[in-house]
Amino acid sequence: MKMSIKRNIGAVVFYTCAIIFAVFFLIPLWMMIVGAFSTTEGAYSSQARFFPDPINWNWDSMMSMVKTPTIGVAFLNTIKLSLSAIPLIFFSALGAFALARLRAPGKDFIFVGILAVMMLPWVVTLIPSFLVYSHLGWLNTFLPFYLPTIAGSAFFIFLLRQFMRSIPRDFDESARIDGCSTFRIFWNIM
């Protein structure tokens, strides 16, 4: 009996918090809708309104927003930039696997170099990166988002290496006995 009361109280607290957070995160969406149906003066006023007063049914301006190619272009650019994460994660995981599991001379020295790269703030590399991309003719293209990801990310390599070192080596040995190649161990186990 006491267990069900505690469970019910926990559920009530959880759902109450979930509803509060949902309302909190939906307010900006609602304010955007109110701004869309408000007059220009009402949209830029400093008073917060939960309903447009007066309602502006300016369908021409709303349809011009839909017809302009900026929304579609922005959506496609978002998709293209999101896809750049795929090679970044893959090559970072590959590098982390090599540093965590394979035997190679100087791999600790390479790891120290990766840690040193992590300590550089991104602002320091901003102008040199721009100059390199400019000389390569990559400005106003998506190439700077895709080609440098082949080297991986120092932060991702560090995190994935630490994770892969925590996995027992018995899994590797079992996979080798079953006939797995090194890449298959990486792909299926790590």
The 3-state secondary structure of 64-127 reads HHHHCCHHHHHHHHHHHHHHCHHHHHHHHHHHHHHHHHCCCCCHHHHHHHHHHHHCCCHHHHHH
Query: What pLDDT is recorded for position 62?
Result: 66
pTM above 0.95, yes or no: no
Which residue pairs from 72-78 have beta carbons closer than 8 angstroms and sit at least 24 positions apart in sequence?
none
Is residue 64 predicted with pLDDT exceeding 70? no
Candidate from 30-39, 120-129, 145-154 with smallest mean pLDDT: 30-39
What are the φ and ψ backbone dihedral angles of 150, each rounded to 5 degrees?
-65, -30
Q: Are 184 and 134 in contact (CB under 8 A)?
A: no
What are the φ and ψ backbone dihedral angles of 7, each rounded to 5 degrees?
-65, -40
Query: How many Å is the maximal CA-CA distance in the chain?
Result: 75
Query: What pLDDT is recorded for position 160?
Result: 93
Helix/strand/coil (H, E, C) string of 153-184?
A: CHHHHHHHHHHHHHCCCHHHHHHHHCCCCHHH
Candidate from 40-54, 68-82, 128-142 with smallest mean pLDDT: 40-54
The CA distance from 137 to 62, in Å, is 38
Domain assignments of the chain as residue spans, ordered by start: 2-67, 81-188
pLDDT digits (tens, 9 = 90+) for 22-57: 988 888 888 878 877 777 676 667 777 777 777 777
Query: 81-188 belongs to which CATH class?
Result: mainly alpha
